[in-house]
Amino acid sequence: MINKIIVIIGPTAVGKTHVSVELAKMLDSEIVSADSMQVYKGMNIGTAKISDFEMQGITHYMIDIVNPNENYSVSDYKSDAEKIIDSILLNNKVPIIVGGSGLYVNSLIYDLDFGKVKSDKKIRSYYANYCKTYGEDALYEKLQQIDPESAEKIHRNNIRRVIRALEVYDITGKKFSEINSNIRKPGSKYECILIGLFMDRKTLYERINKRVNEMISEGLVDEVKDLLDKGYDRNLISMKAIGYKEIIDYLEGRMSIEDSVKVLKRNTRRFAKRQYTWFKKDKNVKWFCIEDTNLINSTIDSIYDYLKTKI
């Protein structure tokens, strides 16, 4: 049985979906999503979830697997995704992993130890109550004080990760950043071929702004309103995702639709910058520029030629 997987990474809006589908057709492959928000059902427009039309008949996995109010950890993802990857490999196909969620990707290609520090319900409950009483900013400031390196990597709105970092510190006396310092430790059971996609920052930001405009025209506001009407609270991890929290602020009267869209574009651009910074640290990635859309087919052919030397 072959034991190789292709991993396509890059910032949001760079074009991973199109490139991966075209490569999957050329390689007779199947695609496994590594997007931490596309796992949620009903969150389609705001996560830029691939449509049936865009799939072009290529089988996609790890999309629409849990409800927005269900907890879904990196460890859960790793367990579920590996079962699918192994099944694809048994059929003598090379799986293509596609996504921009760094920890999801790394959980598959590196040896991440999720059981290193067990959870303590009392500590987690304490910090959850602290957050409710004093607010998210106060909770985040606690992390900044004890572990500024982790605070820099964990977004202040990702309350679950902030609490986990504080919990680990209370249990072990060690910073979360120290325990997870070797985030790219070799040891995956797969042989990974890493492909990175990039383009000029100005071009990427223009694509992001255009995508946000398209999301609004496609009905993002109605999608978020429907989720709220179904009882999905704004404090859920899923509803704190970029594209949802900004629209919630509009729906709940905290800002105008114009300001909400402006903040959404800004937050997405900042997110893309963080993604690129994360992936650039990995020296195992072979990078391809896909800035010129007129040459996209040629670039895909170049990626295909490169992959054929590795498979």
The per-residue pLDDT of the chain, averaged, comes to 90
Q: Note the pTM of the prediction, 2 decimals.
A: 0.81
Higher pLDDT, 221 or 150: 221
Residue 146 has pLDDT above 70, yes or no: yes
How large is the average pLDDT for residues 52-57? 96
DSSP letter string over 17-72?
A: HHHHHHHHHHHT--EEE--SSTTBTT--TTTTPPPHHHHTT--EESSS-B-TTS--
| Domains with residue ranges and CATH for the chain | 4-112+183-308 (3.40.50.300), 121-179 (1.10.20.140)
How large is the average pLDDT for residues 289-300? 89
Owner of token pair 């996504």: 99
Q: For residue range 87-143, list pLDDT tens digits in order.
A: 999 999 999 999 998 888 988 988 765 556 677 888 888 888 889 888 888 899 999
pLDDT band for 186, please (50, 70, 90 cuts): low
Q: Are 278 and 103 in contact (CB under 8 A)?
A: no
Q: Are 45 and 218 in contact (CB under 8 A)?
A: yes
Q: Are 35 and 47 in contact (CB under 8 A)?
A: yes
Residue 182 confidence (pLDDT): 53
How large is the average pLDDT for residues 12-38? 96
Q: Name the percent of the chain lying above pLDDT 70.
A: 94
Nearest Cα neighbor of 141 from 131, 129, 128 is 131
Residue 86 confidence (pLDDT): 96
